[in-house]
Amino acid sequence: MEETRSGIPLLGEKFPSMEVQTTHGMMKLPDDMKGKWFVLFSHPADFTPVCTTEFIAFAKRSDQFKKLNAELIGLSIDQIFSHIKWIEWINEKVGVKIPFPVIADDMGKVGSKLGMIHPSKGTNTVRAVFIVDPEGIIRLMIYYPQEVGRQIDEILRALKALQISDKNKVAMPENWPNNELIGDKVIIPPPKDVTGAEERLKVKDGYDWWFTYKSLDK
């Protein structure tokens, strides 16, 4: 019998199958996103200042996510009517349209399944971020407390890094593409035997056989 587990899922696991009500209608995840990346992010509550700043930042970068074949999906434990009114408020007061769907998890089922519920904050969700690949596999998770707003450019950077890593079979250094040590270069996986280690620095740039790097165009 397959073991079932609740709480925060693990990286590399399939995103849990679910049907959700959103501001764009019903959705089945991850099925409706097959062939695309998607970024699911939760916020504690509608009509709150920090969440409003985050939604505006996500909305302003939505085209950049789309260029990476990625869709944005918001979520909180609020009713669909609250989501709709809040989205209207943002458009009316700030002049920013929210182009992505927002899940109404008013029963808390999605938040519980994904480990988003903050035990010391009632039923509010934490500021969670899930990046899911076109096969429905969870590739990245970030959890912030309610008091700290997210840096949306970092989520965009992480998505780009994952895609380039997958395509080129390389690892990405700290703060890529602006790493303090090797700039925009990427790290080559270390060799798996003695012969490979002895040959590595003869043909690759690096500091040692286990730390070599290259430009993406090489």
Q: What residues act catalytically?
A: 51
User: What is the chain's percent helix, strand, coil content, to nearest 5?
Assistant: 30, 25, 45
Residue at token pair 């899940």: 103
Q: What is the DSSP string of 35-55?
A: TSEEEEEE-S-SS-HHHHHHH
Which helix (DSSP H) or strand (DSSP E) does residue 156 occupy? helix 152-168
Cα 99 from Cα 30, distance rounded (Å): 19
Cα 65 from Cα 63, distance rounded (Å): 5
Taking alpha carbons only, the member of 169, 167, 163, 109 closest to residue 140 is: 163
- Enter the tokens of residue 102: 């927002």
- Identify whether the C-beta of residue 9 lies closer than 8 Å to the C-beta of residue 131: no
